Structure 1
Amino acid sequence: MVDIGKAIEFPTKDKEWLTKIVVGGILSIIPVINFIAAGYELKVMRNAINKKPAMPRWENFGGLFVDGLVVFIISLIYMIVPIIVFVATAAVWGLSLFSIGRFMGCPFALVAAFLPLIAITLVFAIIIGFILPMAIALYASSKNVGKAFKFGEILNRIKSVFGEYIVAYVFILILGIIIGAIAMIPYIGWIIALFVTFYIGVVSSNLFGELYAKSKA
């Protein structure tokens, strides 16, 4: 079963963990350069998949950048689905509402009418977000972008460790909510959130890497 305490403490087992987290947090602030931080997280996942969990050194920045860029592209392709669902549904829904002038002069009612649309999009986003870590793990393991879209294998691997996988996913979701709350602190919240986000990214990458190593296709 997933050991949440062990997962959270994972980065701190490295003697230089604080320095490595600070470097990652700083890189995460800079647009485009932040792909290097994403590549580092992928390297953490790769180490876990190879059953050698450790925070790697900050080196080979070019390789980290490429890996981070690939992860971004994979994630973007996956998120296209909920985006298309939102845009298409919004267009149809919006046209039908305005064609009958149903909510003219009542903006609050119009907003309320679109709540189901937001809910539908959110459901799709959660489903995609649930699948995505295993898809990225397949890329991390194989270094083959195409493997990230082998949906049969992705679903089989998730099913083989389903209990632990869903616990890990909910755990990361909760941490994401906490990060959002931290970011709302005036003036310094967003800065703190960037470093905490990178820390959680390392935790998540190691956690899902270990689950991939346990899973079966």
Structure 2
Amino acid sequence: MNKNKIKMNIFKSVYGVMILIPLTTFSYICYEQHLHKTEGNEDLIKESFYKKPRQIRFPSSENIVLRLFKKAQTNKEQQLKRHTEKIISAKLIKPKQSKKGHMRGGETAKHTIFKSKNKINIHEKENKAHSTKKAIQVKLSAYIAHCQEGCTGTTRTGIDVTQSIYYKGYRVIATDPSVIPLNSIVEVRIGGKTFKAIAIDTGGAIVGNKVDLLVATERDAINFGKQNGTISIIS
């Protein structure tokens, strides 16, 4: 039993020595390398250790603002330069003039003046004709389209007047064609009232200067009665 213990202790001692030898060798090699690297740098190490630390200089706010302003101004100038170059290099495209319905100014002006002259001349002729045309003294009575005997609702010229007492915006009258021709447009004056009418009907009792005015109802015809008036032929 004691012999086994002695052998175990010897084994442990030998094993420990075997481990320590490599570690010692490695440590010595590292130390030699360190001495080789630091050889001749003792002064630099001392100088760097004892030397006063440098003062760190921070840029002032004024310098920062100036630098940013200069940078922004440079960018603005570059943008302006590029914009100017684009404007100079751009090609101006003229819009194509459409030939459809195109007329020269002189022609249009002449055409317009020609129309206005025609209109003025027409009015002047109408006014002259109206002023120079002699007014015809007439006796007017009234009639209706619907009646018990002899009323068809159609005029001598074939116009149906059962729905309206107007034709083309004019009042309807029956006349003697030998005095006032059919389809004549006239101006009728009764008392202080004046209106335009068109002669598109005749009647058995309408002879000479007698004129019948178409009204809507029998009551209107009775109220109208017989009146004196004047008629001027317009056309």
TM over 0.5, shorter chain: no
TM-score scaled by structure 2? 0.17
Relative to total residues, which structure has the larger strand share, 1 or 2? 2
Relative to total residues, which structure has the larger helix share, 1 or 2? 1
